[in-house]
Amino acid sequence: MHAATHILLWLRTFEPNLLTSPATAAEEALHSTYVRFSLLALSSIFFLVDPFAAIPSFIAITAGVDPARRRRMAWKAALTCCIVLVSFALGGKFIFSLFGIRLPAFEIAGGLILLLIGIDMLEAKRSPTQESIDEAQEAAAKEDAGIVPLGIPMLAGPGAISSVMVLVGQAPNHWQMMAILGSIAITAAVSFFVLNAADRLRRLLGETGIRILVRIMGLLLVALAMQLFVNGLTDLGMIPRHE
């Protein structure tokens, strides 16, 4: 008994990690700054790109197109989305300094844009900032609409660009920038697979399932928009900061 007690005391003193339960370790990991920022970046970018909401438009635009060409259009759309968002991520701080824009101002403006998009998503419809009726009709008449309007603005629209810019303004460290770039890459890859399998997903989920997904993402997006708005007002000193 004494030997066992001494071993436990030694482990608690010198090797506390060995006595940490898997549940505690997982909880600590979820509360780490890196994981929280990475989840914030991925969720905000993915909800704004929202490839599931683009399924009906993609199917309408690619109606009568052979599978190989449809796959190329999905690839071009995802690649365009990735290039546009990565460009704004890498040049975000330069744009801020060039135009003298402070982060709180962009947080408030981005929050308003995200709020408008989120409200439209709650009604299970595409926001005019992402896709207009004229753009959809013009895209249907194009032979290749993979870059415009599928890549931009349907996927990489003003909301997604604003979100990336705000995240960049909040990322002073290299690992945070890597988290943003990784989130963009994951979002673009998922967008390609979703668009490439648009017909199968539409049959699997149905119109009702797609609308439910869009509404859920819209609700989360509205909450994110309000948080950005509050952060901007707090950084300006209009709302007291609570630690």
In a domain, 105, yes or no: yes
Alpha-carbon distance values, 237 to 17, 83, 232 (Å): 41, 35, 9
In a domain, 179, yes or no: yes
**C-alpha to C-alpha distance for 136 and 81, rounded to whole angstroms:** 17
In a domain, 122, yes or no: yes
Q: Residue 229: what are its φ and ψ, rounded to 5°?
A: -60, -45
Neighbouring C-alpha atoms within 13 Å toward the C-beta of 88: 20
In a domain, 215, yes or no: yes
- Residue 72 domain boundaries: 36-235
**Poorest-pLDDT segment among 42-51, 107-116, 124-133:** 124-133
pTM for the model:
0.79
What confidence score (pLDDT) does residue 2 get?
52
State the pLDDT confidence band at 23, using cuts at 50, 70 and 90: low
Question: With 60 as the cut, is the pLDDT of residue 16 above it?
Answer: no
The number of folded domains in the chain is: 1
Count of other CB atoms within 10 angstroms of residue 234 = 15
User: How does pLDDT run across 173-184, given as a tens digit for each residue?
Assistant: 888 999 999 999
Q: What percent of the chain has pLDDT over 70?
A: 78
Question: Which segments of the chain does DSSP mark as H helices, in order?
Answer: 2-14, 22-30, 33-49, 55-61, 67-99, 103-122, 133-141, 158-169, 174-196, 198-235
In a domain, 181, yes or no: yes
